[in-house]
Amino acid sequence: MRVTLSEVSKGPNRAALPLTSLEFHTGTVTLARAETERRPTVLGLIASGRMRPDSGTVTLDGRTDFGAIRSRVALVDAPGVCEPAADVTVAEVVAEELMFAGRIGHRRAVGRMLAAFDLADEARSSMADLEPDARIRLLTELAVLRDEVEGLVMCSPDRHGGDPLGWWTVANGLSARGYAVLVIAGDASAHAIASLHPALVVTTSDKAVSIAPSAPGAPPAHPEPTRGPAHAHDHDHDHDGADAR
């Protein structure tokens, strides 16, 4: 699977998103740098097929098919769109995502899932209190529980704090398992990751949010479930003319 954004933009005078080109595909991680409060979410919505750009094209394997992108690419933890409410418990998030994945979300199933993620003790914790790396790991693993999901867009994982290497390791673990992964983060995190991975090429231009593919290969950060959770109520939001699934 290969998702390509070619000179996409959004908003009057491209204020919501300047001209941006990037690509993410099976077995790799792409790091996109996006600053300001709303640009990461706008880019995430466009890259996951949930929002139509005002200019440019978004293709899946060379074809324009927003419905296919939405069904095959999970949008994870996007601020204001699909992030779990701060006061929702970890167990409630897991139960909801099991349901969306077509599985039974009863208490026993939730308990087994949390135990597999080493989060059994956090069942009653609020999502706002979950440690950053655990949050990202949980939400991405819940996203890939859906059979059709082949790619993930991780939106602003750095906003929760912690070491950027934590969520970067999660992203690389997913790519090593065959997923296409796009991570959208701020400049500080991008520079931190680039300093740890000299082979990572981070570019900047007047016409694009900085992007860069990374070499996959980091081991999974935790036990691998069957292919298939993006949390965060990825209820196929129909933004700005995007077709509902």
Q: What is the pLDDT of residue 216?
A: 41
Kindly list the domain boundaries of the chain, sorted by start residue.
Answer: 2-84+150-214
| Structure confidence by residue, pLDDT tens digits, 33-52 | 888 888 999 999 999 999 99
Q: What is the pLDDT of residue 101?
A: 87
Mean pLDDT, the chain, rounded, equals 82
Q: What Å distances lie between residue 225 and 93, 127, 171, 179, CA to CA?
A: 17, 21, 15, 13
pLDDT at 95 over 50: yes
Q: What is the pLDDT of residue 202?
A: 47
The tokens for 12 are 């009057």
Mean local confidence (pLDDT), 199-214? 42
Mean local confidence (pLDDT), 147-164? 93
Host H or E run for residue 212 = strand 211-214
pLDDT at 217 over 50: no
Instruction: Name the pLDDT band for 244 (thresholds 50, 70, 90).
Output: very low
Q: What Å distances lie between residue 94 and 105, 177, 194, 198, 243, CA to CA?
A: 8, 22, 33, 37, 27
Mean local confidence (pLDDT), 103-123? 90
pLDDT at 220 over 50: no
The tokens for 155 are 């939106």
Mean local confidence (pLDDT), 167-175? 94
Q: What is the pLDDT of residue 102?
A: 86
Q: What is the pLDDT of residue 109?
A: 92
Q: What Å distances lie between residue 112 and 52, 122, 146, 169, CA to CA?
A: 38, 13, 17, 24
CATH number belonging to the domain at 2-84+150-214, selected among 3.40.1110.10, 3.40.50.300, 1.10.3720.10, 3.40.50.620: 3.40.50.300
Q: The dihedral of CA 231, 237, 240, 241: what is its sign?
A: positive
**Cα–chain-centroid distance for residue 2?**
15
Amino acid 16 reads A
Percent of the chain with pLDDT over 90: 66
pLDDT at 198 over 90: no
Q: What is the pLDDT of residue 22?
A: 94
Mean local confidence (pLDDT), 173-179? 95
pTM of the prediction? 0.81
**Comparison of pLDDT for 91 and 210, the residue scoring more:** 91
| Structure confidence by residue, pLDDT tens digits, 69-80 | 999 999 999 998
pLDDT at 4 over 90: yes
pLDDT at 124 over 50: yes
